Amino acid sequence: MNKQPAIIIGAGGHAKVVLEALLRSDVTVIGLLDVDEERHGSLVLGVPILGDDNMLDLYPADSVRLVNGLGSTQDLSRRASLYRNFKEKKYSFASVIHPSAIIARDVVIGEGAHIMAGVILQPGVIIGCNSIINTAASVDHDGIIGDHVHIAPGVVLSGNVCIGERTHVGTGATVIQGITIGSEAVIGAGAVVVRDIPDRVTAVGIPAKVVIK
C-alpha cells in the first residue's frame, strides 16, 4: 500500500467526507487546499487548510498523493479538469475507500476514485478514474462506471449497467439491469431508469424520461 501522505484539493462538504474516510484508513493527511483566503489556517476535522493550490509548489509530485475534494451536483467538468491538470503535472491521485465499503475481490477501482461509506460493489464491477461512488450506493455485478462519474448517495445500479464518463446519477435513483447511460448525462434524484439514456441529456421521473437534450 502506498504510504505517501495526502493533500486534499478543496475543503467543502465532499472534501470533509473524504477526509473522514482517509483518517479512518490511517492515511496521513498533510492538509487541505482552498481558494478562500479567509479559511486559510482554519481546521477541518483537526486538519489545517494550508492555502490555495499554489501551496503545491512546496510538495514535489513524487512526495505526495493528491485527493480530489471537489464534489458535484450535476456538472462534472470542473472535477474532471482539476484531475487532468494535475496529472499533466505528474501528480498521482489517491483512491479513497471507506473502511465500511463492501468490495468484491475482483473489482477494479481506477486512480483517484472515491468509494464512500456503506457502498457495495459486487463482482465484475469496474470503477473509472476520478469517479465518486457516494454514501450507501450499490453497483451490482459487472457494472461499468466511466471516468469522472458521480453516483450520488443511495443510488442502486442493478447488474450489467454501464455509465458513460462525466455522468451524474442523482440521489436515490434506480437503474434496472442491463441499462446503458451515455456520457455527460444527468439522471435526476429518485428517477427509475428502465431504458437506455443517450449522451448529454437530462432524464427524470418514474420511469425516467428525457426532459432536456
The answer as to whether 197 is a domain residue is no
**157/87 Cα distance (integer angstroms):** 30
pLDDT at 1 over 60: no
For position 26, which CATH number holds?
3.40.50.20
Tell me what the pLDDT averaged over the chain comes to: 96
Task: Return the minimum-mean-pLDDT range out of 3-7, 91-95, 135-139, 198-202.
Answer: 3-7
pLDDT band for 2, please (50, 70, 90 cuts): low
pLDDT band for 87, please (50, 70, 90 cuts): very high
Q: What percent of the chain has pLDDT over 90?
A: 95
Q: What percent of the chain has pLDDT over 70?
A: 99
The answer as to whether 127 is a domain residue is no
| pLDDT at residue number 167 | 97
The answer as to whether 196 is a domain residue is no
pLDDT at 188 over 70: yes
The answer as to whether 193 is a domain residue is no
Active-site pick, 14, 40, 98, 141: 141
End-to-end CA distance of the chain: 44
Catalytic-residue membership of 141: yes
The answer as to whether 160 is a domain residue is no
DSSP 106-167: T-EE-TT-EE-TT-EE-TT-EE-TT-EE-TT-EE-TT-EE-TT-EE-TT-EE-TT-EE-TT-
| pLDDT at residue number 108 | 98
pLDDT band for 61, please (50, 70, 90 cuts): very high
pLDDT tens by residue, 137-146:
999 999 999 9
The answer as to whether 62 is a domain residue is yes
- Which whole number is the average pLDDT over 116-145? 98
The answer as to whether 138 is a domain residue is no
| pLDDT at residue number 75 | 85
pLDDT band for 184, please (50, 70, 90 cuts): very high
**7/117 Cα distance (integer angstroms):** 20
Domain interval for residue 77: 6-94
The answer as to whether 165 is a domain residue is no
pLDDT tens by residue, 94-121:
999 999 999 999 999 999 999 999 999 9
pLDDT tens by residue, 6-39:
999 999 999 999 999 999 999 999 999 999 999 9
Number of domains in the chain: 1
- Which whole number is the average pLDDT over 121-136? 98
| pLDDT at residue number 73 | 77
- Give how far Cα 175 sits from Cα of 48, 74, 82, 119, 154, Å: 39, 17, 29, 16, 12
